[in-house]
Amino acid sequence: MNQTKIGIDAGGTLVKTAYRKNETILYQTFSSYNLGDVVSWVYESFENPIICITGGKSQLLSEKLNDSAKTVVEFEATARGIQLLIGEQYESLKTNFLFVNVGTGTSIHHVNDMEQQRVGGTGIGGGTLMGLAYLLTGVEDYARMVQLASNGDRGNTDLKVKDIFEGALPPISGDLTASNFGKRESMIAQYPSASDILAAIIGMIGEVIVTVSSQMAVQYNVDSIVYIGSSFRSNPLLRDIIDEYTRLAGKEPFFLKDGEYSGAVGALLSLD
């Protein structure tokens, strides 16, 4: 009987796994704050599996598994997993693109002729959403944050370019954000709701990520930006903001289905 191969991406917030069953890759997600759940799942679900781990908590998880698990560098594993997913979903997108991994923070990589290079990043990411959401609204649950944000109005918190020009013709689109959380007088007059605040946090995160990513795309002469990461999970608002602002920057955005599992997929592929 063939041993099951498992790729694991042990990140700062989530642990993502990928394994094959009947030639189909299946996925599972756990919290990084309880690695014991991952260990229990591995030993209760599989008999003598072959495991490869990547990610920031790979050493910790490897020790808990008490196994001779293989480890691979996270950036290389993610790039390899992305290549597989791109081949399945965007056949034309083969070379010379950026991939932007929006996890706890954000990491930006240039891929050209199958070679990847990390070219930048920012501490703004999903961890920022979780932290600021809790500090400003007291909401701790991710699903609740996203649900509330979907009903929010950023016009109650963010200062638009058209707000500054007050009827005059602005030199750039009046709908662009001039200052995130910059509508101070309005907020003093009417304190924004939790939904408004959460929508504004997601908007700020999305705009910062696109600003940094699009500048890197110009620097590396890239037209396509591939966005992956757990921060897009059940979060259409973040995806829509990044899609819109990427196109405004003159670049083409791509969002991979199951892209947050790219690291786990790459770890799995390294066992072949």
109's tokens: 């990589």
- Computed on alpha carbons and rounded to an integer, the radius of gyration of the chain in Å comes to 20
Q: Which of these CATH numbers, 3.30.420.40, 3.20.20.410, 3.30.70.1400, 3.40.50.720, describes 5-75+262-269? A: 3.30.420.40
Q: What is the pLDDT of residue 92?
A: 77
Residues 6+ apart with CB under 8 A from 61: 8, 10, 15, 35, 38, 39, 53, 69
pTM over 0.75: yes
- pLDDT band, very low/low/confident/very high, at 175 (cuts 50, 70, 90): confident
Active site residue 74: yes
Catalytic choice (74, 91, 115, 260): 74
pLDDT, the chain, mean: 92
* For residues 188-214, average pLDDT: 97
Give the model confidence (pLDDT) of 20-79 as tens digits. Answer: 988 899 999 999 989 999 999 999 999 889 999 999 899 899 888 866 789 999 999 999
* For residues 157-178, average pLDDT: 86
93's tokens: 């997108």
Buried/exposed 77-92: b ≥16 CB within 10 Å, e otherwise = bbbbbbbebbeeeeee
Q: What is the pLDDT of residue 187?
A: 95
Q: What is the DSSP string of 166-234?
A: TTS--SS-TTSEEETT--HHHHHHSPPPHHHHHHHHHHHHHHHHHHHHHHHHHHTT--EEEEESGGGTT
* For residues 125-135, average pLDDT: 96
| Residue 17 vs residues 30, 162, 242: alpha-carbon distances, Å | 8, 46, 26
First to last CA, the chain: 17
For domain 126-255, the CATH class is: alpha beta
Give the model confidence (pLDDT) of 262-272 as tens digits. Answer: 999 999 999 98
Domain ranges in the chain?
Answer: 5-75+262-269, 126-255
176's tokens: 């662009």
Sign of CA dihedral 93, 94, 98, 99: positive
- pLDDT band, very low/low/confident/very high, at 169 (cuts 50, 70, 90): confident
- pLDDT band, very low/low/confident/very high, at 259 (cuts 50, 70, 90): very high
* For residues 213-229, average pLDDT: 96
The reply to whether domains 5-75+262-269 and 126-255 share a CATH topology is yes
16's tokens: 């993502």
